[in-house]
A and B are shown apart, each in its own frame.
Chain A
Amino acid sequence: MIRFILRRTGSLFLLLVAVSFITFTLFQFGPADPASAACGQECTPERVQEARVALGMDQPFLVQYVEYMRGLFSSRMIGAPGAESLCQWPCLGKSFQTNENVSDIIARSLPYTFSMAIGALVLWTLSGVGLGLLAALRKGSATDKFIVGAASVGVSLPIPVTGLFLLLVFVNQFHLLPFTTNEINSPFGPQGPLAWVLNYLLPWIALAVLFSASYIRVTRTNMIETFGEDFIRTARAKGLAPRTVTFKHGVRAGITPVVTMLGMDIGLLLGGAVLTEQIFSVPGLGFTAVRAAVSGDLPVTMAITMLAAFFVIVANVVVDLAYAAIDPRVRLQ
């Protein structure tokens, strides 16, 4: 087990380095001219040159990359020689727009993204696994067909349409819920947990509609497979209560693929729900990324993309390790 952990962590480290390097290349070498993006509207050739030096772009590419990554481990000075400023650890550069430390911008956005992720996750896991299980138990019935049909429709609903529709109905027409406010980003804030739930309920629903569809499908397929296995028949033959057979024997064995999906989706969602945050004006990572992308604020988009990819990779490894802990066969291959 220890060797397995070491091997996975080792490859995790390599993958993180590779992802950060690729992101850096895409964002530094991709744009026609990052320096003119940095110096903004009124740009003279001299000011572009100054910006190039200030961004360290006169340095060789690898030096730029190493310098950038060094910011993850210690504070560093950035800016043109003579006009340097301290970039506090963890340093991810400074915003072209506001000159603020990118890490501060990210730290400010994270609680909103967490709030979005947690609730949506609970909602779609409960509804997805619950409905999938129900469909599997009533395989072939009208209930099953309805649930499978609903899942097909759910996976085809684009978030902009569902999101705007929810806003229109619940906030604008019937005033059932408040419009999301920036003041609430944790259930432990002064407004209390109920205000937090009400504030994020609509974005949670918008995300859950889309995500739970694939959970319904996977749960249903796997549960049907599991219920067909010999050990379930044995359990039934022993005279165990149907409830015990379903939950203690069936669900436990058939739920593992859902756990994998869940791990990966958590990673994905922590990087920011771009569309949902935009529609409901929740200033999380996704919202910040859109604003930065539209205004050409490269350091911010680069850092958020890198962070989001890190979340996905780490989530993958955590899922693998959890699997290995549960199922020893995984470690061998």
Chain B
Amino acid sequence: MTQLQSPAEPGTASAAPSRDRPAEARSLLATAWLRIRRSKIALLSLCVVVAIMLFAILAPVLSAMSGNDPFTSNTSPEVLDDFETPGLPLPGYMYPSASHWLGVEPGLGRDLFARLAFGGQVSLTIALLSTAVSVVLGTVLGAAAGYFGGKTDAVISRLMDLFLAFPHLLLVLSLTPILQSRLRDTPLGQGSFLPMASLVIILGFFGWAYLARIVRGQVLSLREREFVEAARSFGSSHLSILFRQIIPNVMGVVLVYATMLIPTNISAEAALSFLGVGVKDPTPSWGQMLNAAQAGNWYLSDPWFLAVPGAMLIVTVLAFNLLGDAVRDALDPKASRH
């Protein structure tokens, strides 16, 4: 991260010199960390985010420890009721127990804990990758619009307006099946890869406009700064100035909006899979698990099936949102709440 050290961090070191040690240039992440460390809520949400990431990464280990996997179904009459409410797990299998840490799923009797962990892997992968796509697109396009100005700016800015005009969920919802029909015969469209690839592409492609607008605004003022002029007078090419002088200086804002985009994308994945156009059974994701809880009204038979993926989703989105607020307060004081 050393390249991110910069002589002119907009609004970080200069705007809040009083409480931190002043003047000394500090890397972006170090600045953020210093601020986050001071707020209990920020620190707690960071811990929760790390814990959830670990939970997802360690899904194979954890489910092996519990002795289950997310795909094996068990519909034997010892596990699932086939009398009063056919398919509902019997008392010993409904709630947490030693053999099934969160009980089993209604209908197919698959282990809920394993599905939650592997589902987290799927949900978080989609959210992080699509955020990465949006961030790269938004940063490069926004910086190019601000730096080059003129026709480039006009074209990119109109494009941003257009992208922002579409109701996000509706567009993503209707285009996902279309993209899937395209991807089906490509290497990306194989098996459980298809929904993941399509969601990453769609969410990434339709999420860059807002970030680009912010980056453009920042670059407009950056390009008039002395260090850019200096680089120009040394004969640096436009591309070199853009990528080595301009973009490192907007990384603060980019980091802020990236952190805020992650929970948006987690919710979007959950929404799409819940609606039946995203991740589909047997691949688990938190949205798919919500879908499974609603299908056949299982959540009305027992709220547990809604509570498991629902609580996970709320905690994750909340932790990321709070962390995003903290990162914003740390790196972009102008936009902070009072």
Contacts and interface: CB of A to CB of B under 8 A. Distances in A.
Nearest to B297: A172
Contact of B313 (A158, A305, A308): A158
Interface stretch (B25-33, B67-75, B170-178, B231-239): B170-178
A30 B338 contact: no
Given A31-B181, A293-B277, A271 B293 contact: no
Given A156-B321, A305-B174, A161 B306 contact: yes
Given A15-B165, A304-B170, A161 B321 contact: no
Tell me the dominant secondary structure on chain B's binding face: helix
Contact of A271 (B170, B175, B267): B170
A26 B178 CA distance: 9
Interface string B171-190: 10111111101101100000
A130 B334 CA distance: 25
A167 B185 CA distance: 41
Contacts of B175: 26, 30
Contacts of B338: 139, 220-221, 224-225
Contacts of A279: 294
A227 B278 CA distance: 47
Nearest to B312: A161
A305 B300 contact: no
A289 B176 CA distance: 13
B166 A305 contact: yes
A308 B170 contact: yes
B64 interface: no
A296 interface: yes
Contact of A152 (B270, B275, B290, B322): B322
B293 A156 contact: no
B319 to A, nearest CB: 9
A156 B182 CA distance: 33
Given A155-B321, A156-B317, A289-B173, A268 B165 contact: no
B318 A274 contact: no
A148 B337 CA distance: 10
Contacts of B229: none
Contact of B171 (A156, A165, A305, A313): A305
B270 A164 contact: no
B93 interface: no
A118 interface: no
Contacts of A290: 173, 275-277
Contact of A158 (B178, B271, B276, B337): B271
A309 B166 contact: yes
8 contacts: A18-B162, A27-B174, A32-B181, A158-B313, A161-B310, A293-B275, A305-B174, A308-B166
A271 B273 CA distance: 20
B161 interface: yes
Interface string A230-269: 0000000000000000000000000000000000000010
A17 B1 CA distance: 45
A168 interface: yes
A220 B162 CA distance: 30
B325 interface: yes
Contacts of B313: 158, 161
Nearest to A294: B276
Contacts of A286: 170
B321 to A, nearest CB: 5
Contacts of B300: 167-168, 172
A275 B274 contact: yes
Nearest to A301: B174
Contacts of A272: 167, 170
A41 to B, nearest CB: 15
B154 to A, nearest CB: 13
Contacts of B170: 271-272, 274, 286, 289, 304-305, 308
A57 interface: no
B252 interface: no
B317 A158 contact: yes
A25 to B, nearest CB: 12
The residue among A32, A172, A304 with the most chain B CB atoms within 10 A of its own CB is A32
Given A31-B181, A164-B293, A221-B338, A293 B271 contact: no
B34 interface: no
A165 B274 contact: no
Interface in A96-150: 139, 148
B314 interface: yes
Given A158-B271, A158-B313, A164-B299, A32 B318 contact: no
A286 B171 CA distance: 11
A161 B173 CA distance: 18
A292 B170 CA distance: 11
A156 B314 contact: yes
B51 interface: no
Contact of B177 (A160, A274, A296): A296
A162 B270 CA distance: 13
B171 A160 contact: no
Contact of B290 (A37, A161, A312): A161
B263 interface: yes
B294 to A, nearest CB: 6
Contacts of A308: 166-167, 170
A196 B162 CA distance: 36
Given A30-B175, A224-B338, 20 more contacts: A15-B161, A15-B162, A18-B162, A26-B175, A27-B174, A153-B318, A156-B263, A158-B310, A158-B317, A160-B290, A161-B306, A168-B299, A271-B170, A275-B271, A293-B173, A293-B275, A294-B177, A296-B177, A313-B165, A316-B165
A278 interface: yes
Interface in A272-312: 272, 274-275, 278-279, 286, 289-290, 292-294, 296, 298, 301-302, 304-305, 308-309, 312
Contacts of B310: 158, 160-161, 164-165
Nearest to A11: B161
Interface in B271-302: 271, 274-277, 287, 290, 293-294, 299-300
A272 B322 CA distance: 29
